[in-house]
Every structure is written in C-alpha cells, then in structure tokens.
Structure 1
Amino acid sequence: MDLADRFVDVGTGVRLHYVEAGSGPLVVLLHGFPEFWWSWRHQIPVLAEAGFRVVAVDMRGYGQSDAPPSWRDYRMELLAADVAGLIEALGEERAFVVGHDWGAAVAWMVATLHPERVERLAILNVPHPDTMLRTLRSSPKQLLHSWYMFFFQIPWLPERLAKLMRRRFLEGAYGDARPGAFTAEDYARYETALLDSPGGLKGPIDYYRAALRRSPRRARSLFRPIPAPVLVIWGVQDRFLTERMAEPDPRWVPDVRIVKLPDASHWVQHDEPERVSTLLIEHFQVA
C-alpha cells in the first residue's frame, strides 16, 4: 500500500511528521519509546482497507518531527495538545485515537484534556496515569521494573550510551518481544530514525525527565473522567508493567473494555498484529 509522507504545523510551535493511508473516519496512531511511526506498519494497511483514514505520527522529538531542546518542552499538556492540534489541522473534529507505551500515556491525556477531539480511545500496554502513580507508590516490584525511568533522569549520559550501543540498545529494549517480531529491516529503520537523527534520543528521553520532575499532586490535578469508550489491549507477558495495571479506576474511565492477550509482551502490536488490528476495527465500527 502506498503511504503519503507529510508534515503539518499543529499549532503548538512544532511541526509533526506523519504518514497517511486510506480514507474515511480518522484514526490517529501514537507510537511509544523507542519507536516512531513504523511501530504501526502492520496495522496501517489493515485499518486503511477497513475504511479508515489512518495517520501514524512521529511524536515530537522523534523521527522527522520537530525536537524542541528542553525537557520542559515534553510536558504532558504539550504532548496532548500536539495530538488535539493534529486532528484539527487535518480538518477533522474528532478521531479514533490509538496509543502504545508513551503514545498510550499521551492518548490517555488527549482524551482527558481534549475530550471533544476523541471519538473512541484504544490503549495498548500502558495504564491510566492515576494507576501508574498509585502503583509506583505502593509496589516495590513495579519500582524495580521501572528502574530505567530513574536512570533517564541523568543528563546526557543515557542518550550517549544508547548511541554508542546502537543495535544492542534496541535489542535490549525490545528483548521481551516474540522471536521474529522485529526483523533486521525493522532494526535498521529504528537505528536510522532514532539514533542517526540530529537530536538522537534526547527528545524521547526528555519525556521521562518531564514526567518524573512533576509532582504527583500536580499530575493528578489534570485528571478528569474520560467520556469516550475505551478499549485496553494488554500483552500479559509485559516485563515492564504488571498485569493488574491494565484495569483503570472507574472514576476516571467509566466505559472500558479490557482484552488481555496471554502470550503477548509489552510489544503487543508487533507480537500479535492481526489480533490487535481486528480488535481495533471492532472497537471503531461500534461507533
């Protein structure tokens, strides 16, 4: 399938790169760390053939999108505003929003802070931010799993090590994925997009710096009930996040369906691409 390769000013001071396929209701796909739009290579053609206009974005700091220089430029309000502005810039009132990993964290907040832009929400292997905060506070096991978030607070060293390690860094990041989920071509694309870009991994790692430098009280002040129906797809073999984090608090997410894939890892859309695509189409076609 041919992909249109485009850039758009989203009204937040950054220009985002995205690829687009198909026509119909808008689906916005948000990748995680350390990925870029290629994260959705399996889902893009299937969703487009199902009758959707599919837009897979390089989020700010990634790939060919703008990469502001300060960690303060990666605060959650700005990341969510990028997506809301993208939907508007594409000429749509609302969209189906899908996110994995950091893209899912941003998707939660788009639906929270800009509910008028989200028709339905789909989340892959990241808890609602309230669940994340409560679990980090109460679970030493989860704190141990999340050690890298604290390592990323060190200035310049994490991104320098990633650039030196190159393929070994990426293989370590995706290490719990099923064998064959990431091919040699995939690794080559990730190296080019993430490690050979001018900013390297500074922008992506600044997501973590901005998140951990905000007080939990300030973070919770942003939470609102999400009116959109939510689908949570969760790979149970996630080595980073415990399975019980899949279920959000009904105060914040009153309309949710949770589908757990027992044999999938954190990289669920790579491990079970057909199943994930089918679940997304079912979720969107209910609307």
Structure 2
Amino acid sequence: MRNDGNLDDHHGLGGPADRSDDVTPTNWAVSGFKYRFSNALSRLAGLGGLDNQAADRRRRNRMTIISGAACCLGLVGFSLIPANPAGQSPTPDQRAEIAQRAEADAASRGKARESVAPVTESPAPSSSPSPTAEPTPSTKPTPSTKPTRSAKATAKPKPKPKRITPVAGLDQAQMDNATAIVRAGQKMDVPRRALVIAVATAMQESNLYNYASGVLPESQNYPHQAIGWDHDSVGLFQQRPSTGWGAVPDLMKPEYATQQFLTALLEVPGWQDLPLTVAAQTVQVSAFGWLYAQHEWRATEVVDAVVS
C-alpha cells in the first residue's frame, strides 16, 4: 500500500507510474476540447477577415466616377456603375446599360452650346423651352393710337329726298320727274311762277317722261322712259342739241334740262307778267304754242305738293 492513501489500480496497463499525478483523464479530455474549439474559432475569424476584405474590394470596385458636361451647364454628374467581382466579365444586361449611358453622355457633350446673348429678332417659338436659354425681356408693345373715325363714319348720312305722292292724275314716274324740275328750280332760287311755267311746259312737250330720240341713237345710252321721233329733240323739254341747247348726255338729265329752260325763261323781258302760254312759247318756239296754257292748273297743284 502507498502512503498517500490512494489505492493502486491493479487492473491498469501501466500501473501507477503510467499516469501523471497533475493531469487526470477528465482534465485531459476537457483541455483537448478547448484546444479544438479555440482552433475552430481562429479559423472562423480568419475566414471572416477574408470576407471583409472581399466585401471592401467589391464596394471599392462598385464606385466609378463618370464626369461630363450635363446639358451644357458645366455641371458634373456622377453615375454609379455596378462593377463585377474581379475575374468575372459583365453580363449582357450590364453591357447594354453601360453602352446606353456612354451613348447618352457622348450625345450630351456633342451638343452645341446655345448663345444666350440678346438677339435683335425674336426667335421662332419652340415646342419646349430650352434649359440653357435665358428669358429675354419682352419688348413693351407700343400703344397704338385709337383709329379715328372717318368723316364718312361720323357724318350723318344725307336724308334721301322724300318721294312725293303723285297728284293731278300723274303716275309715280311722272311725279318724280316733276319733283326733279321743282327741286332744280329751288336750287336756282327762282320765283314760284317760274316753277309752274316749267312744269306746265314739260307736261306739253313730253308728258313728263324723259324721252330719248330715235334719230339720235346716242341718247338711248342714257336713262330714259320713252323714245320719240321729233327730229333730234330729247329730254323732258324736247330740247334739240343741234340748236345749241347742249350736249346729248347733259340734256338727258332732268336737272340740267330744267336749268337750261329756266335760264332762257329768266332772259325773257317781263316774263312774270306774260300769260303762261306766251312765256313758254317764247322759250320753246313750238308749232303748237297755244297748248301750254291747258296744263297750268295741274302744274300749280304739282308745285304746291312738292314745295309744301
């Protein structure tokens, strides 16, 4: 027996001398487990460091700076292009994206810079405003003067002569011609008696119709209401151009023909005291001079209707 109180194991292979007094079999097993566990942790830490390095490398490779002119403003744009890990070629999708961005950058740099200097002429309007063009101050429109109304616009239109209702058995055409005779005499400021003589004379000579002459075809080119064949006599008073009464175009006008008759009447001495037939015949020198007097009362009624 040993003196340390421990029994020898007679069934062991090496006896008491084969085992250490400081390390028991249980401690040895625990120590071996700790060693293997720490070694595994070291290996995992090493792998983690490698993973961190690879991640840092991937992040660095992912950042690529692309500088260029952005829309002619001198701005620098930054684009992030994902980079593949080292040793790997880009996929077809990545190649298409890189080519599309490169094409867009090249097109942006290739654009000509638009001038922002003021121009004298207004540029043609574009569908969308240019980002580089500065707004030019609009020219202040010159205030236009208000158009002045013309004299014709402001002046009141002249009232049309009142159409006189026919009297003394006349129709409207006859009454219109009689009214023209009276109006022409009023412009000449002749006495009322001269107006009655003029109307009565026209009643006898033309029945108050404006006659053209079949002998003078020229007279038919002007407004007329009848055609006569008494030599070259024309108009309301059947005045003959061949005897000096005037030109055919003028004698076909009722106002001109009346002026010619009244001018000749006013030259007859004492015409106001003469009978109507004598006064008219002195001017007209007609072959039927005594017939003028029969129209005196009707002529008076016509003059009263126009003058009143």
Do they fold alike, i.e. is TM over 0.5?
Answer: no
Q: Which structure's residues are more often helix, by fraction? A: 2
Q: Which structure's residues are more often strand, by fraction? A: 1
- Which of the pair has the greater relative contact order for Cα pairs under 8 Å at 6+ separation? 1
Q: Calculate the TM-score normalised by the size of structure 2.
A: 0.22
Q: Calculate the TM-score normalised by the size of structure 1.
A: 0.23
